[in-house]
Structure 1
Amino acid sequence: MSGAAVLFDGEISVHYRFLWLVGGSDWPELISARAGQRNGILGAAAPGILSMITGLHTGRVPFRVDWHDSEPPVDPWWEDVVEVSYQPPGTEVALCAFEQFVRLTLPRADSLRVRFCAEGMDEGAERNSAFDDDPRPDRYLLALWPAPPAPEVIVRETSDHAAYWHQVARGARRTQARNRP
């Protein structure tokens, strides 16, 4: 079992069901970040960028980022689980959703494996928004560990919401990245 370090554990404000893990200012179009992949909830098609989809359209979602020394086991209660390879642009990255930026420092590694775990995506999509004291219908975990590049994999697909986004990604085309302020 790998030792875990918590890099972030809190709430992220999402808008339009997405957030990013980025290390620079060049961001691709949202769908382009997942274009051509089998999974549609964790995009890694653009170098150095991860794009994630949530069930909740607008509001705050519980989100945790863990660093592991080696591959951790998959907890059985996560409903949707996908993995991709990721080559970070450096050790300084940010978890972003429009105006919210959470700076993270990753241990140095040339290649990572990333597991995105979701619980309650369908409930989040049905609720659509959650603010202040509203219940949080969905929650997420992003687990990272050093690993050589490997094909993406859908470990577990339970929600209709994840299934929908997987289908969208398979039909999307890649576009050029654009520079963001």
Structure 2
Amino acid sequence: MAELIQRESGELFIEYNVFTVLDPDVMDDFSADFKETGLLTVVEGGAAVLCGTHTGTIEATAESWDGAPPLDTAPWQDVAEATLRWPGQRMEVWGAGYTYDEELPLAIPGPGTYRLRVSGRHRDDGENRHREGTPTEHYLLQLWTAPPAPTIMHKATSALGTRWRSSPPTSN
């Protein structure tokens, strides 16, 4: 059974509906395409998560594991998992830019191939977060060393994710 290595939780301030996983020494920005999962996209050395909140605060928990953690989709609207090829020495979850000093570290042994599972809830409340009683959007990121494997959508129930997965392709 897999063991939890590290867990960090906190609030992230986000803009433009996205927060990222990156090594700021290697990459600072990249183009994200959420059409496959409506939740998660990965590129060499980075990942991005799509949120319902355009600008504001979300809650995030980042976990590092020594193997695949147990899968529990019950408390989440959407759960996606993808391979992440990592060239850097460190990995961090970042909100909007580098000025908010609120990154969440993920413990990694260094460059290699990882699986990243992202679970999200309260994604469909969008910008209505100012109403009393509206729940805060929350994400769980789980990371472990693993060989490459296809992207998996374990659960897909949010309207936000459905919109992105069914959006027409963009032309270049």
TM-score, normalising length from structure 2?
A: 0.83
Aligned amino acid, residue 21 of structure 1: V
2:70 matched to which residue of 1? 73
Q: How many angstroms apart in 2 are the aligned matches of 1:156 and 1:134?
A: 25
Q: Distance in 2 between matches of 1:74 and 1:105?
A: 19
**Between the two proteins, what is the percent identity of the paired residues?**
24
CA contact (8 A) 2:122 2:135 kept: no
Partner of 2:27: 25
Q: CA deviation at 1:163?
A: 1.1
Query: Normalising by the residue count of structure 1, what TM-score does the alignment of the two structures yield?
Result: 0.79
Query: Which residue of structure 1 lines up, in the alignment, with residue 114 of structure 2?
Result: 112
Trace 1:66-145 onto structure 2 (pairs within 5 A): 66-75=63-72, 76-98=74-96, 99-101=99-101, 102=103, 104-108=105-109, 110-123=112-125, 125=126, 127=128, 129=129, 135-145=134-144
Q: Could you tell me which residue of structure 2 aligns to residue 56 of structure 1? A: 53
Flag the structure with more relative contact order, 1 or 2, with Cα contacts below 8 A and sequence separation at least 6.
Answer: 1
Mapped partners of 1:155, 1:108: distance in 2: 27
**How many positions carry a matched residue from both structures?**
165
Q: Secondary structure at the match of 2:157?
A: coil
Residue 122 of structure 1 aligns to a residue whose secondary structure is helix
Q: Which runs of 5+ in 1 are unaligned?
A: 175-181
Distance apart, 1:27 and its partner CA: 2.0
Structure 2 letter corresponding to 1:11: E
Provide the C-alpha distance between the structure 1 equivalents of 2:29 and 2:127, rounded to a whole number of angstroms: 28
1:148 is paired with a residue whose SS is: coil
2:50, 2:135 → 1: CA distance? 16
Matched to 2:161, the amino acid is A
What does 1:7-18 align with in structure 2 at a 5 Å threshold?
Answer: 7-18=7-18
Whole-angstrom distance in 2 between the partners of 1:83 and 1:9: 20
Amino acid at match of 2:18: F
Q: Secondary structure at the match of 2:140?
A: strand
> CA-to-partner distance for each residue in 1:63-119, whole Å, 9 max, x for gaps?
000011111122122120001100122231232222335152522151100101011
Which residues of structure 2 form unaligned runs of 5+? none
Q: 1:167 to 1:89 in 2, by over 3 A?
A: farther
Distance in 1 separating the partners of 2:117 and 2:170: 22
The alignment partner of 1:77 has SS state of coil
Matched residue SS, 1:87: strand
- For residues 118-171 of structure 1, the C-alpha deviation after alignment (integer angstroms, 9 at most, x for no partner) is 111112x151x559x985432100000111011111110011011112234x72
The structure whose residues are more often helix, as a share, is 1
> Contact (CA 8 Å) 1:38, 1:153: kept in 2 or not?
no
Q: CA RMSD in A?
A: 2.5
